[in-house]
Structure 1
Amino acid sequence: MDQSAWPEVAGAVAAAPYPVEVLPADPARASACLAALEITTRSWLGAVVANTGGLLVDHGWLRVLGSGHGDLPDVPGESDAARGVVVVGYDVLGGQFVWSPPQPGARPTIHYFGPDDLGWLDLEQGYADWLYAVLAGSLTRFYDTLRWSGWQAEVAALAPDQGLSVWPPPFTKEGKDLSVVSRKAVSLAEAVSFYQDAARQLGS
């Protein structure tokens, strides 16, 4: 029987320096997701998919996808297996994390699409290394320019499938300081698609 990586993941969750909520998994849906991804629970991604509907990290700022919970999507439903692109998380502003090869034939790494520059950044980490860093506290520094006083309560009040729409958006000069922009709750899908559409229109 395969040795599950879940105890390692659970240990990292328990040791996190900020709140991490483990959303419950539906066993049948989790099994279907594992089969669709063709992975086992020996991997950190497989362990997260099998044992969680998703992880709400740092007051819900980051939603690490699992096997889905309510309207929070699952990993295979958001991913493009044909292109080798696996979507593994969204942040509350509409940024996204994907696990994909930097070039054909290369080992997959985590890439981040940010709402502040509308570009993809290769974090040069595999899934397990990325998630371990996230659970060890990396989000605090990673997002230091995109947070405002009191963000914790504002973000924690959102549902798992909600994000924040900010205007002016953070990729504009006027939207760089998120403490003075207009912020409102929208569906997470709407927040994500807004920046994807903006990137296409601006040729980013």
Structure 2
Amino acid sequence: MEQSAWPAVSAVVAAAPYPVEVLPVDPERAATCLTALGITTRSWLGAVVGDSGGLLVDHGWLRVLGGGHDGLPDVAAMLDPEAGRLVVAFDVLGGQFAWLPAQPGAAPTVHYFGPDHLAWQDLELGYGVWLEAMLAGGVTSFYEDLRWPGWETEVAGVAPDEGISLWPPPWTREGNDLSAVSRKAIPLAELVSAQQDVARQLGFH
């Protein structure tokens, strides 16, 4: 029997400096997802898919996709073969983390599309290294410029399939101070789509 990476993931989850909720998984759905991706639970990505419906990190600010759960798609559903991109996580502001090769033939790394830059940035980290860093406290420093006083309570009240729309948006000069902007919970898919549309219109994407 293959050795799962889930115990290693669980240990990092247990030691996280902020709340991490492991969503229950449907084993049948997870198995279908693993088969579709062609991976096993020996990898960190496979373990998250096989043993969780997803992870809600730091009061739900970061939503790491797994085998699927109410409000969260499974990882296989987020595969974009045309772009060669596999979205592995969303954040509450509509940001996306995707696993894709930086160039043809290269090992895949995690890239981030954020609401403040509206362009994909290569974080130059493999999936396991990226997830371990995010679970171990990296969310705090990564989002330092995208938080406002009292965000914890506000974000905790948002469902996994919702995100917080900011107006003016953070990519504008007027939207730099997130404590002064208008914030509203809307469907996450709608928020993600709107940001992609703006990026295309502005030629960032």
Question: TM-score under structure 2 normalisation?
Answer: 0.98
> Aligned to 1:175, what secondary structure does the other structure show?
coil
Return the letter of the residue paired with 1:77.
Answer: A
How many angstroms does 1:68 deviate by?
1.0
Name the CA distance, whole Å, in 2 between partners of 1:197 and 1:84: 19
Name the CA distance, whole Å, in 2 between partners of 1:11 and 1:144: 25
Return the letter of the residue paired with 1:6.
Answer: W
The aligned residue for residue 169 of structure 1 is 169
The aligned residue for residue 100 of structure 1 is 100
Return the letter of the residue paired with 1:168.
Answer: P
Where has structure 1 moved over 4 Å in runs of 4 or more? Answer: none
Task: Specify whether residues 90 and 102 from structure 1 end up closer, same or farther in structure 2 by C-alpha distance, changes over 3 A only.
Answer: same
Name the CA distance, whole Å, in 1 between partners of 2:53 and 2:82: 24
Name the CA distance, whole Å, in 1 between partners of 2:106 and 2:189: 29
Name the CA distance, whole Å, in 2 between partners of 1:65 and 1:37: 13
How many angstroms does 1:81 deviate by?
3.4
The aligned residue for residue 85 of structure 2 is 85
The aligned residue for residue 152 of structure 1 is 152
Name the CA distance, whole Å, in 1 between partners of 2:149 and 2:75: 32
Name the CA distance, whole Å, in 2 between partners of 1:36 and 1:189: 22
Name the CA distance, whole Å, in 1 between partners of 2:113 and 2:82: 20
Name the CA distance, whole Å, in 2 between partners of 1:138 and 1:13: 13
The aligned residue for residue 19 of structure 2 is 19
Equivalences for 1:19-98 in 2 at 5 Å?
19-98=19-98
> Aligned to 2:146, what secondary structure does the other structure show?
coil
Cα deviation digits, residues 161-190 of structure 1 (max 9, x gap): 111011111001111111111101111111
Count of residue pairs the alignment pairs up: 204
How many angstroms does 1:82 deviate by?
4.8
> Aligned to 1:13, what secondary structure does the other structure show?
helix
Name the CA distance, whole Å, in 1 between partners of 2:176 and 2:2: 47
Name the CA distance, whole Å, in 1 between partners of 2:177 and 2:196: 21
Name the CA distance, whole Å, in 2 between partners of 1:72 and 1:187: 12
The aligned residue for residue 196 of structure 1 is 196
Question: TM-score under structure 1 normalisation?
Answer: 0.98
Gaps of at least 5 residues in structure 2 are: none
The aligned residue for residue 183 of structure 2 is 183
> Aligned to 2:107, what secondary structure does the other structure show?
coil
How many angstroms does 1:84 deviate by?
2.8
| Percentage of identical aligned residues | 68
Return the letter of the residue paired with 1:150.
Answer: G
> Aligned to 2:144, what secondary structure does the other structure show?
coil
> Aligned to 1:97, what secondary structure does the other structure show?
strand
